Chains A and B, each alone.
Chain A
Amino acid sequence: MTAPRRELIVSIVLHTVLVLGAIVALMPMAWMLSASVMPTGEATAYPPRFFPSRVTLEHYEQLFTRLDLGRYLLNSAFLAFTVTATSLVINSMAGYAFAKLRFRGRDRTFRLLSLGLVLPVQVAMLPLFLLMKQLGLVNTYWGVIIPGMASIFGIFLIRQYALSIPDDMLDAARIDGASELTIYWKVVVPGILPILATLAIWTFLATWNDFMWPLIVLSDAAHYTLPVALANLSGEHVQDTELMMAGSVLTVLPVLAVFLFLQRYYIQGIMAGSVKG
């Protein structure tokens, strides 16, 4: 067999496998979308069908009118935006300090912090709940926001990237008499924008998708996030397949949109963060 011919066969096999993989990766999402616009009962017909006989938006309508999902959508959006904004500031300040400022105890503090990476968050949850209760923050948005405002992972990500800021640049600003806060804001933040974008997307997705802690700390339906509300609904409306699929679409669509529009920053940041380690 000649080399180009062999290459062609290998290429066909390779791309067939890749396309099959893509179908498997997307199929559940595609069916979710399709079933969400099926008339009631059609998603549980036999034999199962993939495409709706006619497209209807009645389930979406029902979600917003009868089941108040608009409220949960707003809750989720508010929490995700707030946690993302505050954590960006707090983590980037700390990450920058660990990377570029010289102070006594830096290495020891950083090592201590890195221990936290192997601690599963669930170990903290029981006392955290009692603490939140003491502070009167159970069943408030703060109960979700405050524990999300700083993250060890975020500090690591920023520090790793900030190490590449040239010291000369910072020292030049100092000689010009700039305050440390000005340096952070005018020199450091513009220098680490790409990794800030990565961390912003990461935090937004993680907060939006988070389930266990919001489930624990938000017991009053008015404060539910979408995943908590959805899990609750799925218990009551287990038979309403099309309705549940509409709710799932509504939950997934915002994060999918964020990812698809900003994936350049997200994917590159994750890959860069892992290689340097």
Chain B
Amino acid sequence: MTAPAIPTRTPAAQLPPGTGRAAWLFLAPALSLIFIFFFLPVLASLLLSLTDFDIYAIADPSATRFVGLRNYGRLLQTPEFWQALRNTLYFALAGGPLTIALSLGAALLLNAKLTRFKTVFRTIYFIPFVTTLVAVSIVWRYLYHTRYGLLNYGLGYLGVEPIDWLGDPRWAMPAIILLAVWKNFGYNMLIFIAGLQSIPSELYDAAEIDGAGPVRRFFNVTLPLLGPTMLFVGVVTMIGYFQLFAEPYVMTMGGPLRATTSVVLLMYEEGFRWWRMGYAAAIAFVLFLVILIATLIQFRLQRERA
């Protein structure tokens, strides 16, 4: 969760006898597990995506054929894939900034000098983050009910007509975004509070002496100094949001009209429901590329700001 610090190099002459071997023994369980059950499957995934591995191949792996980039070609011609990619981008690009903005707002309020009961509020705001996603997705499904749901009932008092949250293709994704924002803002809020507390108060005092009001202090002191925190929060939130799966699986099964089918849900369906594993591996790899590009863009933006 943290950016790796730059490790210090130690000349080999300083090595106490035996620590090298001891170190590798300490590392062996973790590294072999991570290699066998994570890195190796990731590499295998790339190979798998170049084959036509399907339900017959599960029974008899020798039936698998190498098909080159055909899975990728088919993927790019499939409207379902493009829709899943659009849905995922919608979720990440609308939900991500919304979550981060709310997290920052909550962190600023909790960090204000006048605020009392800080730890109580902090705990309450963090509670949604520790809850079980599947369980709260089910709860929200009922809260979103067109007729019996509390949300529409509450909105009714404000004169809003009942919204078919999960049954209307236009509203289903916003509904899932709302749930995700509620569930996740508490985590980023904690990170922002930690970032805010690390800003020396002399900087604010100096800005105040220079006549900067609260708004200018926020834009000229707080925001620039939060840069590294912002990058961390942005990258972690985005990587998480690109992996959208449980919410649509539980709440909408990807519908209505596939409006909430995410890339991971599509991969799950292709790979583990229809057992088209070669094709599904290609979907997984495209997801990885998208995440990689989005991460690089964020690093680039951060460097330009700095």
Interface residues of A (CB under 8 A from B): 7, 10-11, 14-15, 17-18, 21-22, 24-29, 31-32, 35, 43-48, 50, 90-91, 93-94, 96-98, 101-104, 106-107, 109-111, 113-114, 116, 118-131, 133, 146-147, 149-153, 155-157, 160, 163, 171, 174, 180-181, 184, 205, 208-209, 211-212, 216, 226-228, 230-231, 234, 241, 244-245, 247-248, 251-252, 255-256, 259-260, 263, 267, 270-277
A97 with B27: in contact, given A48-B148, A156-B2 (CB under 8 Å)? Answer: yes
A118 with B123: in contact, given A97-B23, A211-B246, A275-B198 (CB under 8 Å)? Answer: no
B136 and A252: CB pair below 8 A?
yes
B104 CB–A CB distance under 8 Å: no
CB distance from A213 to the nearest CB of B (A): 11
Interface residues of B (CB under 8 A from A): 1-5, 7, 9-10, 12, 14-16, 18-20, 22-27, 29-31, 33-34, 36-42, 44-45, 48, 58, 106, 109-110, 112, 114-116, 121-128, 130-136, 138-143, 145, 147-150, 153, 182, 186-187, 190-191, 193-195, 197-198, 228-229, 232, 239, 242-243, 245-246, 249-250, 264, 267-268, 271-272, 277, 280-281, 284-285, 287-288, 291-292, 295
A277 with B232: in contact, given A120-B242, A184-B26, A252-B132 (CB under 8 Å)? Answer: yes
Inter-chain CA distance A151–B38, complex, in Å, is 10
B281 and A126: CB pair below 8 A?
yes
Secondary structure type dominating chain B contacts: helix
B138 and A234: CB pair below 8 A?
yes
Listed from nearest, the 7 A-B pairs whose CB atoms lie closest are A277-B2, A94-B30, A127-B44, A180-B22, A124-B41, A101-B23, A271-B194
Secondary structure type dominating chain A contacts: helix
Contact of B243 among A122, A127, A149, A153 (CB under 8 A): A122
User: Taking CB as reference atom, which chain B residue is nearest A96?
Assistant: B26
Q: Name the A residues within 8 Å of B271 (CB-CB).
A: 125-126
A90 with B4: in contact, given A14-B115, A46-B148, A248-B139 (CB under 8 Å)? Answer: no
Q: Name the B residues within 8 Å of A28 (CB-CB).
A: 128, 136, 139-140, 143, 182
A122-B245, A127-B40 known; 19 new pairs, CB 8 Å cut-off, are: A17-B109, A21-B106, A21-B121, A97-B27, A102-B19, A111-B4, A113-B34, A118-B291, A119-B42, A123-B287, A123-B288, A124-B38, A126-B45, A156-B1, A180-B26, A184-B26, A211-B134, A216-B272, A274-B195
B134 and A231: CB pair below 8 A?
yes
Inter-chain CA distance A252–B197, complex, in Å, is 31
Q: Name the B residues within 8 Å of A216 (CB-CB).
A: 268, 272
CB distance from B29 to the nearest CB of A (A): 5
Contact of B228 among A44, A107, A123, A277 (CB under 8 A): A277
Q: Name the A residues within 8 Å of B142 (CB-CB).
A: 35, 43, 241, 244-245
Q: Name the B residues within 8 Å of A104 (CB-CB).
A: 12, 20
A31 and B37: CB pair below 8 A?
no
A255 and B132: CB pair below 8 A?
yes
Q: Name the B residues within 8 Å of A46 (CB-CB).
A: 147-148
CB distance from B149 to the nearest CB of A (A): 7
B138 and A244: CB pair below 8 A?
yes
